[in-house]
A and B are shown apart, each in its own frame.
Chain A
Amino acid sequence: MQCPSCDFNNMPGMKRCARCQASLALDSVDVIPPRASQREKTIPNWLRSTVNRIRYGAADAANDALRAKRGEVNFRWTLGDYLCLLVGGLQQSVRGELAGWFWLGGWIVLFILSVGFAGTGFGSVCLGLLFAVHAMSIADIFFRQQEEWGTRVRFMGVVALALGLIYGGTIRTLGAFVTPIRFLSETTDLSSGDVIWYADASPTKNGQLVAYDIGRLDFSYRINNAPAIFRVGGTRINRQVAEAGQVVSWRNNTLFVDNKECEWQPRNFMERVADFEIPVDDGYIFVSPEGIVPENAIGMLGAPISMPTVTSNKIIMGRIGLVPKQRVLGRVFLRSFPLTAIRWY
């Protein structure tokens, strides 16, 4: 029996060629090749190839003698390459370049720090560095391909613009839902310097911490017969204790909602506040007022959101607790900084 591969004459009945080990069982050989199913064909080749490259190892690992020099790497604009550019250093990592792992590692660390410290100065610095590392990782790819500085500068201009749009767009889009702010006052729940996140425009309920903008409140009063102005303003955070339709009252140093003792009582400075009873109108919520106005304030200027009333050296604080719904920024759901005090609300 002659081997089809090496023409060696084998003994009859042999299954493999004695010389070259080729199969001699030609009769059982199928000659119709297998074909891929339609389902498999729907997976794009670039995706399959990219996944396989990651799975099998990178080009650099293929052979030391054939290792691609940095200056000889082609820059091929495939869809996969474009997508890889969205993460700093990912493209180089996929191509198996050692530098890519440094870029990618740096990018990931800065990304985590930027998110973890969002709302703080350090977080902003990290975000800036993240942007810079991302842009430099792209420049690293392109500068190897293009030696002409004019083109390099043009390219980096477009990259900076595109990245700015991507980063700005992402922050803006996320900012429509959640916002981190640094809180600079003291409340029952928060300390000055805490970074809190609030969910924008989400409806608030009693008992929830709400962030609201009180605009600017100016109180003029006199200290030792000299005129003085007490000013408060900006974003504040307090707990919502009543909503529209309910009646809030302050009696015997206790806060009542609909004549039931409120679960969330304000702090003890309210002892100096005169009794009051205020219905919460439509379009308002009532937050627990805490330490806004000094005891001897006698008036008010500017454009307040609600008007405190002074009665015989005591202030009816109730009206300060009324906040128009359009001034409510959202529900506070997370304290992300300091790291030792991370908490979900």
Chain B
Amino acid sequence: MTRFGKLEFDDGDSLDPENQQEMSLSAQETETHWLKMADSNRREGKHENALRFYSRALEIDKTIMSAWVGQVQMLILLGEYPQASTWSKKALELFPNHADLLAAQAQAECRRGDLKQSNHLIDGAMKVRGESAYQWQVRGELMIALKQRTDRHCFDKAQVTSSDSLVPLESALIYLHHHEYAKGAQRASMAVEKSPELYFAWYVLGQCQEGAGLDDAAIRSYKQCCNLCQNHEQAKQRLNVLESRGWNPIRSLGKLFRRS
């Protein structure tokens, strides 16, 4: 546990008491357990926790590829792009030319604004034999950043490659990051259809709908999220904001010029 003291703990995103207990009691657990925990936290949108569980799994076995990739993905989702780039380079020393690691680095560079480097990296990742949903997602994100219209094709390919509900959910998060709310809502709806019990998917759907100006739909999504997770403070907060929102001339002006 001492090594975890190096990590920063945000007040709003700290480990759940349930997870803390589990971490302290399960020192003897295998890496599979920690990977499972990381995956479950990732699906619930607890990216800080997922990052720690991936680290825990790697402490037991440093050759777990998915944990290295997961760490970089979580760093990106937490907005720590320079760190994600550094960490992916470090992982690539252990696993040279690994497609998902290259894709992860490409995503980090793309978020940092180095589209040229990102493009080279994702090209390299796509050349490696075998393809994963993540590579297509990163390719899609790069298309968004390059203002291409082929992003939809890439995200569709990602969903064909993997039927996991996490794929459309994280695709929606990518769209959300790039303020493409309507497209994000479409992906989040797919995630919700696949896993209606996944409250984080409802929350992301609500965010996309809110961004797209569909306030009523967003309220419904946030309410659904709150029904599935009573303690989801962010959803409650957004719900309060939306329900107390009056007429705003700037928002109305924004709607006037918003691209459909």
Partners in one complex: yes
What per-residue 1/0 map shows which CB atoms of B133-152 lie under 8 Å from chain A?
Answer: 00000000001111111000
Within 8 Å of chain B (Cβ to Cβ): is A98? no
- B binding-site residues for A, Cβ under 8 Å: 3-4, 6-8, 51, 55, 58-59, 62-63, 71-72, 75, 79-83, 86-87, 90, 93-98, 111-119, 143-149, 178-180, 253-254, 256-259
Q: Which residue of B lies closest to A65 (CB)?
A: B119
User: Shortest 10 CB-CB distances between A and B: which pairs?
Assistant: A52-B113, A4-B63, A31-B58, A53-B113, A62-B115, A56-B114, A68-B147, A5-B95, A33-B87, A73-B147
> Is A23 touching B93 in the complex (CB atoms < 8 A)?
yes
Q: Which of A103-145 contact B (CB under 8 A)?
A: 142, 145
Instruction: Using A55-B113, A68-B148, A76-B179 as known contacts, say yes or no to A26 and B259 having CB atoms under 8 A apart.
Output: no
- Asked if A260 is at the interface (CB within 8 A of a chain B CB), the reply is no
Q: Which B residues are in CB contact (< 8 Å) with A68?
A: 146-148
A51→B8 CA distance, assembly (Å): 26
CB within 8 Å for A77 and B179 given contacts A33-B83, A56-B115, A66-B146:
yes
From the candidates A72, A76, A78, name the one contacting B149 in the complex (CB within 8 A): A72
- Minimal beta-carbon separation of A18 from chain B (angstroms): 13
B112–A62 touching, CB < 8 Å: no
The complex places the Cα of A109 from the Cα of B81 at a distance, in Å, of 38
Contact between A34 and B87, CB atoms less than 8 A apart: yes
Distance of A29 Cα from B51 Cα, bound (Å): 17
State the Cβ distance, B142 to closest chain A Cβ, in Å: 8
The verdict on A74 contacting chain B, using a C-beta distance below 8 Å, is yes
Contacts between chains A and B (CB distance < 8 A), count: 125
Q: How far is the CA of A194 from the CA of B98 in the complex (A)?
A: 72
Q: Are A59 and B147 in contact (CB under 8 A)?
A: yes
12 of the cross-chain contacts (CB-CB < 8 Å) are: A4-B62, A29-B90, A32-B7, A33-B55, A45-B79, A45-B81, A56-B115, A56-B116, A66-B146, A73-B147, A77-B179, A142-B257
Q: A34-B86, A49-B113, A77-B254 are in contact. List 15 more A-B contacts (CB 8 A).
A: A4-B95, A20-B97, A22-B93, A32-B3, A36-B80, A36-B82, A36-B83, A50-B113, A51-B113, A52-B112, A52-B113, A56-B113, A63-B146, A74-B144, A76-B178
- CB neighbors of B among A1-60 (8 A): 4-5, 20-23, 26, 29, 31-36, 38, 40-41, 45, 48-53, 55-57, 59
Closest to B259 in A: A145
Complex-state Cα separation, A49 to B256, whole angstroms: 27
With A22-B95, A33-B71, A59-B146 known to touch, is A146 a contact of B259 (CB < 8 Å)? yes
The smallest C-beta distance from A25 to any residue of chain B, in angstroms, reads 9
**CA of A72 to CA of B111, assembled, Å:** 20
Q: What chain A residues lie within 8 Å of B179 (beta carbons)?
A: 76-78
Residues of A within 8 A of B72 (CB): 33
